[in-house]
Amino acid sequence: MFTKDSLIGVVGSGAMGSGIAQVAATAGHKIIVYDTNAAALERARTSLSASLHKLIEKEKLTREKADTILRLISFTGSIQDFKPCKLIIEAIIENIDVKQSVFKELENNVEDTCVLASNTSSLSITSIASACRIPGRVLGIHFFNPATLMLLVEIIPGIATDPVIANHCRALINTFGKVTVMAKDTPGFIVNRVARPFYSEALRIYDEQIADPATIDWAMREFGGFKMGPFELMDLIGHDVNYIVTETVWKQFYYDPRFKPSLSQKRLLEAGFLGKKTGRGFYDYSDGVSLPEPNKEETLGKYILNRILCMLINEACDTCYLGIASAEDIDLAMTKGVNYPKGLLKWADEIGLAHVQLTLKELYDEYEEDRYRASVKLKQMVKKGKLFY
C-alpha cells in the first residue's frame, strides 16, 4: 500500500506535527505540512532547520542528510495540496469536534484511497471516523512527544477500520525506525491508560499529606528506578496537557473512580501554573529558587513506591484482561513510550502477583473505594499460581 514514493501529509505545524514530519522525512518520504496559521508554518520551518542544525553539531546527522530532509518537507496553507497524499496524519488540538470537522474537510480534498490517521492521545478513533464518508480508512497513529526521540508509536484501529489498512500503517511506521504496538480503541489506549496511576496515586498520597512532591519523586527514582518522579514529569508535560488527558480518560470510562482526577492538579491548571513552561507548577522554577529537599526516610519511600507500583500493575493487568493489548505489547509500550525501568507485567512477576493483590486488598479495606479493586485478571492468575512470563 505504501512505498518510498508515497506522499505523506501532516495536519498541524506545532511541535508534534513538525516532529512527525521530520521523522517521516528522515525515513525518505516527501512530506506536506499543512496549517491555517501562516506564522505557525514559518515557526515550524525555522524550528525544523534549528533542530537539524543541532543534530549536525552533535555529529548525529551529516549536512547532506539534513539538506535532503529539508528538501523533502514542504509547508502549505492550502488543504488542497493534500490531493496526491497516500497518508495524512492529523496532529492538532485534543478536541473531538475540531478533529471531526478536520477529517470531514480532508475527505473532500483527497482520493478515496488516502488513509486518514489521528495522532490523538486519548480520544475515540471510532468517534473521529464516524464523521467520515469512508470510516474504514481512519485509524489512530499515536506518536509520543518528542516524536523525533520517542521510539513508541501506538497503532489504533477503530471499530470500522479496515484491518489491512491498520497492518499496512504499522509496517510503514516500523520503517521509520519506530517500535509499534497495536491497541484496541479504548480511552487512553495503552500508555495513557496504564500510566494514569503513576500520577493519580502520587497525587492521592500528596493530597492525603502522607508525603510532599519532592519526597514522592525521590521515592520513585530511588527505589523504583524511574528517571523522573510523577510531579517532576507532570510539571514537564504541563498540567494543561496532563490534567486534560486524565479528565478525558475518567469521563470516557463513565467516571470510574480508578481514573478520578485530583483537585490539587486542577487548581494549578486554573491558576495558570502549568509547570516548567510557566515557571511554576508543583515546583517553583523561578531563578534563584532551590527545589525542596525530600524526606529520605526509607520506610516511607518504599511504601510510596509499592503503593503506586501496585496500582500501575493492576491497571496493566486489566488492560491485558480486556484484550486492549497483549502482555508483551503492554510492557513494550510502557518501557518505550514513557521510559519505565521495566515492563509492569514483568515487574509483577518479580515482586509477586500475590503481593500486588494483597496491597490492593489492604488499600481497599482501608478506603472502601472501588478505586482499589483488584483486576479480575490479577485475581485469576494468583488463584491459578500463574505468571505473565
Sheet holding 87-90, edge to edge: 73-76, 31-34, 8-11, 87-90, 115-118, 138-143, 152-157, 179-182
Q: How far is CA 34 from CA 19, 76, 318, in A?
A: 13, 5, 39
Residue 232 in grid coordinates: 517532576
Cα 246 to Cα 195: distance, rounded to the nearest angstrom: 10
Residues whose CB is less than 8 angstroms from the CB of residue 281 and which lie 6 or more positions away in sequence, other chains included? 231, 234, 235, 239, 268, 273, 274, 275
Of 13, 119, 124, 192, the catalytic one is 192
Q: Quick check: 21 and 48 in contact, CB under 8 A?
A: yes
Q: Quick check: 97 and 131 in contact, CB under 8 A?
A: no
Of 142, 200, 232, 315, the catalytic one is 142
Catalytic residue flag (residue 222) = no
Q: What Rg, from alpha-carbon coordinates, does the chain have?
A: 22
Q: How many CB atoms lie within 10 A of CB 260?
A: 18
Catalytic residue flag (residue 192) = yes
- Given CA atoms 270, 275, 278, 280 in this order, what sign does their dihedral have? positive
Question: What is the residue-wise DSSP string for 150-175?
Answer: --EEEEEE-TT--HHHHHHHHHHHHT
Of 305, 80, 342, 329, residue with least CA distance to 190: 329
Catalytic residue flag (residue 37) = no
Of 18, 29, 118, 154, the catalytic one is 154
Catalytic residue flag (residue 142) = yes
- Three-state DSSP at 22 gives helix
What DSSP character marks residue 245?
H
Of 13, 18, 118, 121, the catalytic one is 121
Cα 261 to Cα 308: distance, rounded to the nearest angstrom: 15
The catalytic site residues sit at 121, 142, 154, 192
